[in-house]
Structure 1
Amino acid sequence: MSTNSLPTPDGPPAAPGLPTPDHSSRLRTALLAAGFTVDGLLDVLGAAAYAALARSETVPALRATRGDSPLETLVRLFLLQLPVPAARAEAALPLAEALADAWVVRDEAADGAGAGQIRATVDVRPYGGPEGQDWFIVSDLGLSVGGAGGASGHHEGVVLGVGGASTTLAGLTVRTPVGSALDLGAGSGIQALHAAQHATRVTATDLNPRALAFTRLTLALSGAPEAELRAGSLFEPVAGETYDLIVSNPPFVISPGARLTYRDGGMGGDDLCRTLVQQAGERLNDGGFAQFLANWQHVEGEEWQDRLRSWVPRGCDAWIVQREVQDPTQYAELWLRDSGDHRTDPADYAARYEAWLDEFEARRTTGIGFGWITLRKSGAARPSVVVEEWPHSVEQPLGETVRAHFERQDYLRTHDDAALLTGHFLLAPEVVQEQVGLPGAEDPEHVVLRQHRGMRRATEVDTVGAGFAGVCDGTLSAGRILDAIAQLVGEDPVLLRDRTPQSIRLLVEEGFLTPTTPPAQGGPDGPAAEAAG
């Protein structure tokens, strides 16, 4: 596979038939002037039609855009992908430039039936940035964003727009300012677009040159800085280079073969995801993050957690979260529908289904996991590798939650139990306490601490744990708080100090408590001080 760089800002990537970004600034101005934004769509379509469009149902949107306003014209042209009269297109767009750059074409059929109409050559979708930016994602026509309609009938190099996986990764990514970022497998460019907001230099790679062309269009139409575009597989295009941030929504589907470039890894089993993770360590600068979506096999006779731990490169901490597991039949059916094979001849469908199941049987695959993998280049002699299953609801964006997780791992790694007792902690502001018991009972049967943001974890604690967490406002050390609690409950403070650090460690690891700097000298204040008194 080629590792040569595609032409960068001085010339667009070679992708015949796709638009050029030459007049993207004027086109962007026109789109914004017409209200072709996320908020504008919600206003013109209404909540029900807007939600239906996200499910790839177009009839409500058609009914809502019967007028001739520029916004309604743009919805029909780029989202519903219907031809519109040239006069209406002229009112909504700088049509001469849009035609010259091939964003749209004039549809004049030989019989005159389509004369004077304009149709889009690409899908242009409004997308809201994290700080309210009005962005646009450019992708191939005719695809159902989110995968409901799949890529049936499209060539293997098709480039998808924004789906659930794309937005999940964007929300997970740590957004601290960095010098360099790599979007590996850029697709339509959504990760590169996000990275351009906080990275001085962004490099985007993809095996498919069409994807790089779409990435450039997405960045240009969104008014974002240009990225360096390179063609090639995995880390080949950036050999010898390192980055502060690496993000990838790779073609992680475990399939027999590589029919569709955008989704099928083309390696045996989960080897593509394993290779990507294992090679990421040497591509990271110290302190840098690499964040991926991935699929992995559950193999007969092997713990899936051990399989994933073996992927983590030397010198890296890792946080791996399994969000879902499907059995081989569910998985095969999902991706056969994605590619539209369920609409083909029944015999062909059955043959493809058999091929998937044969592949899984040969590899002793009992299930396929999906989730998030985050690496951080710590260089620690004792790396922190957390592998967990968390199928419950979370609250995006989680980038700050991810960053804080690794910061807490640093703290726990460098603080033994004695040091933990001298530490000061804050109860996370989103944590509430729930008490479970029979009505009228003097004491609850269970006390649960629950997070209402981020990972939304819950953990059961005893009376001491609940009391300890409740007074953690940073003013007193953990040891002094425990001494005060021991006095209140009539327990030996030495024994309490001996048995509590492990519970504190768990509360810190899961984000209920955050280590903090001790207050300046001058006398304690706050709930912890009152407890001590």
Structure 2
Amino acid sequence: MRTSCAISRGASRHNGGVSPTASESLPADRSDVTRGLRDALLSAEFTADGLLELLGAPAYAALARSETVPALRATRGEGPLETLVRLFLLQQPVLRERVAGVLPLDACLESGWLRGIGTGAEVAATVDVRPYGGPDGEDWFIVSDLGCAVGGAGGIGSHDEGVVLGVGGASTTLAGITVRTPVAAALDIGTGSGIQALHASRHATQVTATDLNPRALHITALTLALSGAPAADLREGSLYEPVDQGAGATYDLIVSNPPFVISPGARLTYRDGGMSGDDLCRSIVQGAGEYLNDGGHAQFLANWQHVEGEEWTERLRSWVPRGCDAWIVQREVQDITQYAELWLRDAGDHRTDPAAYAARYDAWLDEFEARKVKAVGFGWITLRKTGAAEPSIVVEEWPHPVEQPLGDTVRAHFARVDWLRAHDDAALLESSFRLSGEVVQEQVGLPGAEDPEHVVLRQGRGMRRATKVDTVGAGFAGVCDGTLSAGRILDAIAQLMGEEPVLLRDRTPAQIRTLVEQGFLEPVA
């Protein structure tokens, strides 16, 4: 949950950096200045690839952990790229004449991207501007508050209620799992610095982005403009309230990395939803059904409570709106002490007065105790609007490594759900299947034993699942090449094993369905 890729986490407010608060003014959203600034950044190779080449892998990775010293050492030169890294990433004051050789200085000062320091001999950035590589090699830039491009293990170190973060592990995770098919209308709820809206702009005709924080909406506009992306329809408000203004507004894609942290109170807008327990996540999931078009997807990151005496899986099933299929994956579980410590550190509370830290920690545990919460889960929730009389709701735990991006994997999951729903066991046995690519078989048993204790099929791509199968399941999967029907394969296996074919046909479809549902087998049209 707290990891991120490459230059996605910003430098914290230390090492002499400039650190105005989030209450200070933002750059003006002026297209002429933004275009000139973008051109200058690209000309200096202030891109994800350019940074890697300049800094080298160790310093590049360190900057992603909010450790700035290696990057400071790597930018001692006075070239254009070193100047921009010092200015926007490391947030150091830089001599005016040095910046003037790289950026349209007067325009950047006038519009508020830069500000003079002291006597005016130096200038500093007013916002964090972070290179971000798009999925097809696009050179994008994410704007956020200074020192708040998600601050690494030490927390962002800001208690400003309206602070706007940059790219973090959660936002890149959501971007990676989102289904990327062409759509007419997409909705990004709680847009923050605009990362999800930026991704959606590649495949949605119209993007609507909402946020309770007006500062976030302004920063989203800057992110889109500086990245050369189309402008979005920006609306202020909580959850679905901003789109209620347009009666009947529906979307083909809804995404949200909401303020899902379960905390005692709404202390920080970017992370604390202000509702009791996990009610905010429940509300956003339950409300999605009303705003989805048929066939549309809604994809969220969320926290949920593990409550004493209640199955967490049933809690999440109750969130799924009527008429929607769902695939919910729990990626991580933390006990309540780990959870409280994580988010206290995120806000930098561990660096404040010890008594204040202890009081906040105690309040967090009081909240959990009152609600009988023993742990908190984190994961992904994907809905798809189908209107099916018997919806498919899959709730599972998979804490193991996966291969991002997973958007195609998510889309394929629901396509298989449709296929399975349309085929009873008789139709399944008449169908042909193909073993998915990069599936291997592992056999586990004592050395020298004639037969393995169990057989495991393992995926090399996507979710990288592993599932245990019996001898029949392993044999069936091994010969699936799309030429023979499932029934004919089972008849051949029955003959080899000396079993009654009818009995094998009766007991095997459930195992085949599991292999199809989990993506080990693909139905052949």
Letter of the aligned partner of 2:75 in structure 1? T
Counterparts of 1:132 and 1:446 in 2: how far apart (Å)? 44
Q: Which moved more, 1:499-508 or 1:432-441?
A: 432-441
The SS at the match of 2:153 is coil
Contact 1:55–1:146 (Cα < 8 Å) also in 2: yes
Q: Does 1:44 align with 2:54?
A: yes
> 3-state SS of the aligned residue for 1:197?
coil
Residue identity matched to 1:118 = V
Aligned position for 1:357: 365
Partner of 1:200: 205
**Residue 258 of structure 1 contacts residue 266 of structure 1 at CA under 8 Å; is this kept in 2?**
yes
Change in Cα spacing, 1:235 to 1:120, as seen in structure 2 (3 Å) is: same
Gaps of 5+ in 1: 1-13, 110-114, 518-533
Moved over 6 A (4+): none
Indicate the larger mover: 258-267 or 484-493: 484-493
1:59 lines up with 2:53 in the alignment: no
Deviations 1:132-160 (A, max 9, x none): 11111000002252543324344200000
Runs of at least 5 residues in structure 2 that lack an aligned partner in the other structure: 1-22
Residue 117 of structure 1: CA displacement?
1.1
Q: Distance in 2 between matches of 1:125 and 1:75?
A: 9
After superposition, residues 63-74 of structure 1 pair within 5 angstroms as 63-74=73-84
- Name the stretch that deviates more: 469-478 or 70-79: 469-478
Give the aligned length.
499
Aligned position for 1:210: 215
Report what 2:99 is aligned to.
Answer: 89
Residue range with higher mean Cα deviation, 344-353 or 260-269: 344-353
The separation in 2 between residues aligned to 1:264 and 1:249, in whole angstroms, is 12
Distance (Å, rounded) in 2 between the aligned partners of 1:201 and 1:183: 11
**Equivalent residues of 2:307, 2:375 under 8 A apart:** yes
Deviation at 1:437?
A: 2.9
Question: Which amino acid in structure 2 is aligned with residue 307 of structure 1?
Answer: R
Query: d(CA) in 1 for partners of 2:444 and 2:319?
Result: 41
Amino acid aligned to 2:86: R
**Matched residues in 2 for 1:440 and 1:254: separation?**
53
Distance 2:496 2:81 in 1: 67
C-alpha distance in 1 between matches for 2:392 and 2:168: 31
TM-score of the superposed pair, with normalisation by structure 1: 0.91
Residue 399 of structure 2 is matched in structure 1 by 391
In structure 2, how many angstroms separate the alpha carbons of the residues matched to 1:466 and 1:282? 43
Determine which of 280, 290, 315 is the counterpart of 1:307: 315
1:157 alignment partner in structure 2? 162
Q: 2:347 aligns with which of 316, 336, 339?
A: 339
Q: Which residue of 2 aligns with 1:523?
A: none
Aligned-pair CA distance for 1:496: 1.4
Alignment RMSD (CA, Å):
1.4
Contact 1:144 1:150 in 2 (8 A): no
Specify the alignment match of 1:174 in structure 2: 179
Q: Give the whole-Å Cα distance in 2 for the aligned partners of 1:225 and 1:144.
A: 23
Matched, 1:230 2:235: yes
Q: What is the SS of the residue equivalent to 2:327?
A: strand
Residue 481 of structure 2 corresponds to which residue in structure 1?
473
Matched-pair contact (CA < 8 Å) for 1:252–1:272: yes
- Distance in 2, matches of 1:98 and 1:318, equals 47
Structure-2-length-normalised TM-score: 0.93
Match of residue 521 from structure 1: none
Give the corresponding residue for 2:224: 219
Q: Which deviations, in whole Å up to 9, do the C-alpha atoms of 1:352-392 show, x marking residues without a partner?
A: 11111111111111111111111100100000001111111
- For 2:402, what is the secondary structure of its paired residue? coil
Q: For 1:430 and 1:324, how far apart are their aligned partners in 2?
A: 26
1:98 maps to 2:108:
yes
Q: Which moved more, 1:338-347 or 1:39-48?
A: 338-347
Give a deviation string over 1:252-284, Cα, whole Å, max 9, x none: 001111010000010011110011111110000
| C-alpha distance in structure 1 between counterparts of 2:492 and 2:316, whole Å | 43
1:17 matched to 2:22: no
* Match in the other structure for 1:414: 422
Q: What is the distance in 2 between the residues matched to 1:128 and 1:17? A: 24
Q: How does 1:435-454 map to 2 (within 5 A)?
A: 435-454=443-462
Amino acid paired to 1:343: R
